[in-house]
Amino acid sequence: MTLHEHERIVSADKIEIKPVFEDRYKKILGDRYAEFMEFSMSYLRKCVRVNTLKISIPDLKARLEKKGWVLEQVPWCKEGFFVQGHEEMDRFDIGNLPEHALGYFYVQEAASMLPPTVLFSDIKENDADYFKELKVLDLCAAPGSKTTQIAQYMKNEGVLIANDVDISRLRPLTMNLQRIGVKNMLITLNAFQYSKNNGKPRNPFGEEKEFFDRILVDAPCSGTGTIRRSFKALTMYSPGLIRRLVATQKTLIKHAFNMLKPGGTMVYSTCTQEPAENEAIVSFLLNQFDNAEILPIDLDIKRTPAITEFEDLDIRPETKDCLRIYPQDNDTEGFFVCKIRKNA
């Protein structure tokens, strides 16, 4: 056991699991609940993503390995590497290296690399003209893990709008975009929400504009896939919180779809395992728009079947093509990813 694992398990003893959480998650996970909690209470592997805007994958890998760092490829993201440790010292603080300050890599959880990977999985890398014309929106961008990944897939071409509602989170977003060397972005501070005055949806970008080729909605969520990173999701958990998040998620996914060009692609993702925030939100979109279609996700990753029936939730059978992963599937955080096309 490493020092990190020891620390994690000791502090886990002090966390009280709310009965309302335990009941819900036993229903969601069935006989996989105990394993889910075991992984949720254990040390999370550190992971980095090579920033190909500044350095090639082989060059950074060679540079870090020469310094004694032991890396292992993330199977579903060619720029991603698990940090297995250091050859000589018991250390994992790879974020303290000068290569990090120089923006050669970004410390990012391996499952969090999925949404941008899925959003760009169909694009040919050498199609330079396609990137020049590309307009991409990252609707919930801060602190920018996925925005920086999107920028590197766009090769700093086209336009990338990084939006968030929370001004305090724009500071880390800006710092991350600068460190990574992103030059094709605009940062916006817009709230997509139901107006308090007349109850109608409000879209600061203008609802009639089908403007974007690609959109990422990495929605605010109850975060129950991230317990192994922080126990906040456990302490904050409540049915009332889920209800409020569901209202926001419906607003975000609907506005995002309205802003997508016909033929455009969008990804809806969360780091929660809650079906009301995942399969039910995507089903809400399918119920609203006949031209929304869920696309299959073909990646080298172990997955759990999407939830197509749960209590009284309205879930469409097409959600079977969504990607649902639990911490125990790949020894990462838990995540949910859905790829959606807007048909003409």
Which sequence positions are flagged as catalytic? 271
Least distance between ligand SAM and beta carbon 14 (Å):
26
**Residue selected from 80, 85, 103, 144 as contacting ligand SAM according to rule CB under 6 A:** 144
Nearest to 306 by CA among 28, 3, 13: 28
Q: Is 56 or 238 the residue whose CB approaches ligand SAM more closely? A: 238
**Site for ligand SAM (CB under 6 A): how many residues?**
19
Pick the piece of the chain touching ligand SAM (CB under 6 A) from 45-53, 94-102, 151-159, 160-168.
160-168
Question: 203-228: string of b/e by CB count within 10 Å (b at 16+)?
Answer: bebeeeeebbbbbbbbbbbbbbbbbb
**Residue selected from 50, 77, 114, 165 as contacting ligand SAM according to rule CB under 6 A:** 165
Mapping DSSP onto H, E and C, the string for 85-154 reads EECCCCCCCHHHCHHHHCCCEEECCCHHHHHHHHHCCCCCCCCHHHHHCCEEEECCCCCCHHHHHHHHHC
Which residue's Cβ lies closest to ligand SAM? 140
Is residue 131 at the binding interface for ligand SAM, with CB under 6 A as the rule?
A: no
Q: Is 121 or 193 the residue whose CB approaches ligand SAM more closely? A: 193
Is residue 143 at the binding interface for ligand SAM, with CB under 6 A as the rule?
A: yes
Is residue 337 at the binding interface for ligand SAM, with CB under 6 A as the rule?
A: no
DSSP 156: T
Binding to ligand SAM, residues 53-82 (CB under 6 A)? none
CA distance 257 to 210: 9
Q: Is 225 or 264 the residue whose CB approaches ligand SAM more closely? A: 225
List the x/- string, 203-222, binding to ligand SAM by CB under 6 A.
---------------x-x--
Q: Is 255 or 342 the residue whose CB approaches ligand SAM more closely? A: 255
Binding to ligand SAM, residues 230-269 (CB under 6 A)? 248
CB 253 within 8 A of CB 201: no
**Taking the alpha carbons of 128, 129, 130, 134 in that order, is the dihedral positive or negative?**
positive
Q: Is 61 or 278 the residue whose CB approaches ligand SAM more closely? A: 278
Is residue 146 at the binding interface for ligand SAM, with CB under 6 A as the rule?
A: yes
Least distance between ligand SAM and beta carbon 55 (Å):
21
**Residue selected from 169, 229, 320, 341 as contacting ligand SAM according to rule CB under 6 A:** 169
Burial class of residue 108 (count of CB atoms within 10 Å of its CB; 0-12, 13-18, 19+): buried
CA distance 235 to 237: 6
DSSP 238: -
CA distance 284 to 288: 6
Backbone phi and psi for residue 212, each to the nearest 5 degrees, phi listed first: -100, 140
Is residue 192 at the binding interface for ligand SAM, with CB under 6 A as the rule?
A: yes
Backbone phi and psi for residue 168, each to the nearest 5 degrees, phi listed first: -70, -20
Is residue 164 at the binding interface for ligand SAM, with CB under 6 A as the rule?
A: yes
Least distance between ligand SAM and beta carbon 127 (Å):
25
CA distance 30 to 24: 10
Is residue 193 at the binding interface for ligand SAM, with CB under 6 A as the rule?
A: yes
Least distance between ligand SAM and beta carbon 271 (Å):
6
CA distance 171 to 180: 14
Q: Is 12 or 219 the residue whose CB approaches ligand SAM more closely? A: 219
**DSSP SS3 for 5:** helix
Q: Is 75 or 143 the residue whose CB approaches ligand SAM more closely? A: 143
Least distance between ligand SAM and beta carbon 138 (Å):
7
Interacting residue ranges for ligand SAM, rule: CB under 6 A: 112, 139-146, 164-166, 169, 191-193, 218, 220, 248
